[in-house]
Structure 1
Amino acid sequence: MHFLPNVAVRRPDRSKSHVLSSGHKLAWSEWGEEAAIPVLFLTGAGMAGTLGFGIDHLQELNVRLIAPDRPGLGQSDPDPDKTLSSVADDVIELLGHLQVQEAAVAAFSQGAPFALALAAKGVVSRLAIVSGQDDLAKKVFDQLLPEQVRQMTRQAASDPEGFLAMLEGFAEPDGFFELVLSMSSEPDRSVYGQEPFRSAYKLALAEGFRQGPGGYARDTLAALGPWDINLAAINCPMTLWYGGKDASPVHSPDFGASLAQCLKTAERRFFPEEGGALLWTRARDILRELVGKEVL
């Protein structure tokens, strides 16, 4: 059972926004000194960027953590044409605004395909995928997915408008949080269900859904539908972090094993006795690796 110290969770030090060339506003949250090493954090499903990770290690590692709200989540304007690639383009424009040529990137859960799309565009110096969603439509997963998830991947490909309507009809933040808990193993419930993490996670979801369920639904359509990513173009060093007790049916059914084979620079970190909350339970190791320091 994992217990995070209170200092591991706190509200952002800064909240900012920028109007993109498309005319859409993109918002983000920050922790750490503005002159520190930038690390971009792409959040999980339905989450605004208000819940960071490794907050208690940022000063030691000289890290500035930057967590964007994807379009339609939090304070970012919606984008009815959102795809994995379009979000990557938005983030590239944000990096240009921040005068960052290349950034180390951490991605959790549903943030993974968005991070891979970004890495394929050549602006990522180092990438950590943590308990990441895989390309669930791949044939290799047919027998590993629950039937409901398998049907969702098929509908996302064949009937995207119906898929969006289905998600928008039931998704709301409190119910989503309870769903996450119900699908989690005991090691993960001990993280997600404890204070102050529980309240911070619920707040990130409340902020994520502040404009309604559309942002979450379009993220999920992009992530569960056919991936518009050239994985062969990814050249940056990359680690895939997975726990064997991660019970989420929408992460990677084989804990990143087949994904690692598709990515020529990927190294897999697998912890058989840990869950999916590695982003927070192993935050220091993940951040140390992203900023080029040896993991102890």
Structure 2
Amino acid sequence: MDDTKRANVALVIETMYQVAANPDAWQQLIDALADAGELQDMPPEAADDMARSQDIARLTARPEEGPAPVGRNDIGWIVLSSRRKALAANNLAQEMMGAGLGRLKIGAELAFDDPANGEALIQALTQSRGQAGGQTILRLDRGEDDGPCFAYVAPARALPGVADAAALELADDDQAYALIFPAVEETGKLWSSIRESFGLTPAELRLARKLRDGRSLKEAADELEVSVNTVRNQLRAIFDKMGLKRQSDLTRALTQLSSVASAIEIQTPATIPLASGDAPPVAAITLKDGRRLAYRDYGDPAGRAVLIFHEGLGSSLLPPGAQGLACEQNLRVICAERPGFGQSDPSPDYSFDAVADDMVELCDQLGLQDIRIGAILSGAPSAIQTAIRLGSRAAGVLLCSGRPPRPASEIGVKNPLTLFRSRFETNPWVIETFYAILRLRMSSQLVDHIVRSSTVNSPGDAAYFGQNPHVAKYIATYVGEALARTSRGAADEMKAFRRAQNLTVADLTCPLEVWHGDQDVFAPLADLLDYLGDKPREVRVIPGIGHLMALKHWDEVLRRAAA
């Protein structure tokens, strides 16, 4: 790889660090990817850096293994009231406080030997309450000989097992926070909120990681491809920001902090809500290869079968009112979660043909015949391939704002999501890491920001979104469901779009209809019609709306399926 390409790759990685720390920076990737040009495979030297960007994103990660036992002792913890009184604590925290920090008494305010530590705790609590994630790293002094120690301040409810241990007290104090100490003998991945808490730059954070792993300054400089003088300057900056004096103190602090990383589970108002209302529960079948395929079953079990394909970052959750409307129209509406989305297991070889095989098996197991198929946005290729596989059992296909498996043209495009998708498709080595970060940092606020960004060139979308506040909650909910278990589906499907450029609709035999908003710049109609050729029996262009067309006209979509 030449120096220019290497510098462009480094810029993309640096931008991924920014996105991992602040998801609102996702639009900066558009320019970074444009500078990178087209690069199909991840450079070997970039693999570790991409993994580190996911470490930073784990600032708000949820542990996969679920809640820990009540009264956990793998870390030291103290539950503090809003007035800094100790509500509960475990033995390890008692030991940590007694080892040069101060005194701990349940029901009393924490007493530090060094008054500066008390002031530092007040500042950390204030900072945590003002942050979306609610976590801050706290530096506590223990004297010159022992050196400083570090702890986390986080909402008490964010630590499984701790909130339960002080449940009665917490019931009356929702502002309770936990002071969390690492178990010194344990090691693990660095808890990357150190960057936000102390303001380390990405370069300083990378150096800190090298030093924690035992590298000398010269070795770190060689691996980071910078001069020894540069890493010395970065090390001085790290010491200044973290209040340290020796490299050994830095290594110890990073090792201690890393052991807490897997313990904290952030649960804030920004957390994506779960499905509610009239949506039926998620069901599942077991495919012949042993994978789980999840779906929701709406409406009348004896009604006419409709198979819905959700959009590219969606789940089986259909718009509010879908259950009642399906019953009213005597429809049985099945919406399946494609492999790697929602509760469905990922596929080892994701393709639109493979998705179609899964959907045919679903229809077989559910006994569906005379099936009407509907698809939204990126669900279009899977829907068409499924209709081809079903043959005479497919009664018709309706594509709503469909996206074809073709590269999107960037000529004259200003929509940030369109540019974003186009440049990701030319750099698939970035996709998996980005979606992993998106999953870890997902929030209702982020979804709202992304959707609003996507409407900038569609006045109809912007007006509809602004006039219907429930739409934001619905989108946030199905995106949260889509990423609940893994981000593999979203990443695999985007790669499939890139690989499927030779896919055609030549073998489609059932009637095909297209509904599209006249302001849709996210999935332009011209691109779709170029892909479909003369197959559509009807093309309906709906005025005054863009890619939110299916949401705005959902009732009409289902009524058309019942017609």
Q: TM-score by structure 2 length?
A: 0.45
* Alignment-derived partner of residue 423 in structure 2: 151
Shift of 1:106: 0.9
- Give the 3 Å change call, closer, same or farther, for CA 19–29 of structure 1 in structure 2: same
Q: Deviations over 1:10-44 (max 9, x none)?
A: 44224211100010000101221211111111111
- Is the Cα contact below 8 Å between 1:242 and 1:256 reproduced in 2? no
Bigger Cα displacement from structure 2, 66-75 vs 141-150: 141-150
Q: 1:125 is matched with which residue: 389, 395, 418? A: 395
Shift of 1:163: 3.9
* Alignment-derived partner of residue 511 in structure 2: 237
* Alignment-derived partner of residue 252 in structure 1: 524
Distance in structure 2 (CA, Å) of the matches to 1:72 and 1:177: 23
* Alignment-derived partner of residue 187 in structure 1: 460
Shift of 1:241: 0.7
Bigger Cα displacement from structure 2, 44-53 vs 212-221: 44-53
Distance in structure 1 (CA, Å) of the matches to 2:482 and 2:434: 18
Distance in structure 2 (CA, Å) of the matches to 1:226 and 1:153: 12
Please give the residue correspondences for 1:188-267 in structure 2 after superposition, counting only pairs within 5 Å.
188-192=461-465, 194-227=468-501, 229-248=503-522, 251-252=523-524, 254=526, 256-260=528-532, 262-267=533-538
Tell me, which stretches of 5 or more residues in structure 2 are unaligned? Answer: 1-275
Shift of 1:147: 5.2
Distance in structure 1 (CA, Å) of the matches to 2:285 and 2:507: 28
Q: 1:178 is matched with which residue: 438, 449, 454? A: 449
Distance in structure 1 (CA, Å) of the matches to 2:406 and 2:447: 20
Counterpart code for 2:297? E
- Give the 3 Å change call, closer, same or farther, for CA 81–144 of structure 1 in structure 2: farther
Q: 1:62 is matched with which residue: 313, 321, 330? A: 330
Shift of 1:144: 5.8
- Give the 3 Å change call, closer, same or farther, for CA 203–97 of structure 1 in structure 2: same
Distance in structure 2 (CA, Å) of the matches to 1:24 and 1:114: 18
* Alignment-derived partner of residue 315 in structure 2: 48
Distance in structure 2 (CA, Å) of the matches to 1:120 and 1:36: 23
- Is the Cα contact below 8 Å between 2:304 and 2:370 reproduced in 1? no
SS in 1 for 2:404: coil
- Is the Cα contact below 8 Å between 1:142 and 1:150 reproduced in 2? yes
- Give the 3 Å change call, closer, same or farther, for CA 177–86 of structure 1 in structure 2: farther
Distance in structure 1 (CA, Å) of the matches to 2:373 and 2:465: 22
* Alignment-derived partner of residue 274 in structure 1: 545
Q: Deviations over 1:207-227 (max 9, x none)?
A: 110123222111222134324
Q: 2:296 is matched with which residue: 13, 29, 40? A: 29
- Give the 3 Å change call, closer, same or farther, for CA 148–201 of structure 1 in structure 2: closer
Question: Which protein shows a greater Rg?
Answer: 2
Q: Deviations over 1:104-162 (max 9, x none)?
A: 11110111111112122224211110011123327xx4636565544333334xxxx55
SS in 2 for 1:268: strand
More helix by share: 2
- Is the Cα contact below 8 Å between 1:85 and 1:228 reproduced in 2? no
Distance in structure 1 (CA, Å) of the matches to 2:378 and 2:285: 23
SS in 2 for 1:231: coil
Counterpart code for 2:307? L
Counterpart code for 1:96? D
**How many positions carry a matched residue from both structures?**
275
Counterpart code for 1:151? R
Counterpart code for 2:365? H
SS in 1 for 2:282: strand
Distance in structure 2 (CA, Å) of the matches to 1:273 and 1:38: 31
* Alignment-derived partner of residue 405 in structure 2: 135
- Is the Cα contact below 8 Å between 1:105 and 1:127 reproduced in 2? yes
Shift of 1:263: 4.5
* Alignment-derived partner of residue 13 in structure 1: 280
Q: TM-score by structure 1 length?
A: 0.82
Tell me, which stretches of 5 or more residues in structure 1 are unaligned? Answer: 1-8
Shift of 1:90: 0.5
Q: Greater relative contact order (Cα 8 A, min sep 6): structure 1 or 2? A: 1
SS in 1 for 2:540: strand
Distance in structure 2 (CA, Å) of the matches to 1:31 and 1:254: 33
- Is the Cα contact below 8 Å between 1:127 and 1:290 reproduced in 2? no
